[in-house]
Structure 1
Amino acid sequence: MNNKELSNIISQLKDAYEGDPWFGRAVLNILAEVDERIVFEKPGGQHSIVELLWHMITWREFTIDRLQHSPQMTLAYFEEMDWRELDHSDRTLWKQGLERLQETQAQLLALLKDCTDELLDQDVRERNYPFRKLLYGIIQHDIYHLGQVAYIQKLLKATA
C-alpha cells in the first residue's frame, strides 16, 4: 500500500493541531491561551472567537462525513451550519466547541489511518475536487482561522 502522501497529510494535521508547527503555536496551544471571557465578543461586528471555533468544526465534520463510506449529510446541511447562529448567551458553547474540536481531530485521524493514497485522487461527493484538495484545505483552513483567533485575542486584550 502506498501511503506516503497521506502519511504526510496526517503528520501535518497532527503537527498543526498539537505539535510544533512551522507557522507558530499549534491549535491546542492558542486555544488554551484564549480568555474565555472574550470568546463571545464580536470586535467591529465581525465573528467572535466561538463562532470561528464552530466554523472550523463544521468543515472538519464535512470532511469526516465525506470520508465515511456512507455519508450522512448533504452539502446543503453543512452550508447551513457553516456560519451558524450561535446563542452568545449560552456560555457552554466554548467548552462544548473545544471538546467537539478534539473529537473531530480524533475522528479525522482515525478515518485517515485506514486509507491509502488512492483516496487522494477520488472526488469528494457534492464537490468538484478530490480528497487531496479537501484534506490539504482543512489544514490551511484551520491555520487561517487560528490566526484570526490569535489576532482577536490580542486585539481584545489590548483594548481591555
Structure 2
Amino acid sequence: MKNRTENIIKSLSEVFEGEPWYGDSVMRKLENVPYVIGYKTCNPESHSAAQIVGHLIAWKTFAIEKLKCNDEFSIEIDTEKDWPDIKVHTQEEWEALKRKLVAAQSEIYKCLNKKEDDSYLEEKVNGKDYDFYSLLNGVIQHDIYHLGQIGLIESQLKKKEMNPGIFRD
C-alpha cells in the first residue's frame, strides 16, 4: 500500500500549487510576483526572489536524486550549488525559472508515483541521519519557509513604490 506516499504527494501538491489553509501556494505567490523583483533585494545580505527559487530547485533536485538512489549527489550548505546566483532581468527569464521549479516538483511526483509501497519512507537517506519520510516532509516545510521570504520581498516592493530607493540592484 502507498497511503503515506499518497498523503505526502497531496501535501506537496497543496503547498506547491494548491490552496493551503494559510494563503497562497508557492506557484500562486510566484505567479503574482512581478519579475522586476527577481534580481533585487531589500539589503545586501538578502537573497533575491530568483535566488530563493533557485535554492528551492536545488533542494528539490537533491530529493529527486536521493529518491533515485543517487548516492553521489550532494549539496553543501551555503555554496553556489545551495544558493545559485540567479539573476532575472526579463519576464521571459522569470517564466523560464518558474518552469524549472515546476519541472523539479513534477519530477518528485514521478519518483513517488513509481514507488510500489511505503516501505522506502523508513529507509535512511544514504549518508544522512534521516529517513525519506523526513526528507519529503522537509521539502514541504522548506517550500513554506521560503514562501514567507518571497512574500516579504513582495511586501517590501510595495513599500518601494511609496519610498523609492530601498532596493538595491
Same fold flag (TM > 0.5): yes
Could you report, residue by residue, the CA deviation over 1:110-153 in whole angstroms, capped at 9, with x for unpaired residues?
11012221111111122111001100000000011011101111
**The residue matched to 2:81 in structure 1 has which SS?**
helix
Q: Give 1:99 deviation, angstroms.
A: 0.9
How far apart are the structure 1 equivalents of 2:52 and 2:100? 13
Q: Which runs of 5+ in 1 are unaligned?
A: none
Give the aligned CA root-mean-square deviation in angstroms.
2.0
Q: Which runs of 5+ in 2 are unaligned?
A: 162-169
Does structure 1 residue 94 correspond to structure 2 residue 90?
A: no
Q: Report the number of matched residues.
A: 158
2:36 corresponding residue in structure 1:
37
Q: Give 1:20 deviation, angstroms.
A: 1.1
Could you report, residue by residue, the CA deviation over 1:37-81 in whole angstroms, capped at 9, with x for unpaired residues?
121101112111001000011000000000014455234499540
Could you report, residue by residue, the CA deviation over 1:3-25 in whole angstroms, capped at 9, with x for unpaired residues?
11111100001111111111211
Q: 1:19 corresponds to which letter in structure 2?
A: G
2:110 corresponding residue in structure 1:
110
Sequence identity (%): 31
Structure-to-structure mapping, 1:73-84, within 5 angstroms = 73-76=73-76, 80-84=80-84
How far apart are the structure 2 equivalents of 1:111 and 1:79? 26
Equivalent pair of 1:50/1:93 in contact (CA under 8 Å) = no
Equivalent pair of 1:12/1:139 in contact (CA under 8 Å) = yes
Q: Compare 22-31 and 57-66 and name the one that shifted more.
A: 22-31
Structure-to-structure mapping, 1:5-154, within 5 angstroms = 5-45=4-44, 46-71=46-71, 73-76=73-76, 80-86=80-86, 88=87, 91=90, 93-115=93-115, 116-154=117-155
**The residue matched to 2:125 in structure 1 has which SS?**
coil
TM-score normalised by the chain length of structure 1:
0.89
Higher helix share: 1
Q: 1:103 corresponds to which letter in structure 2?
A: A
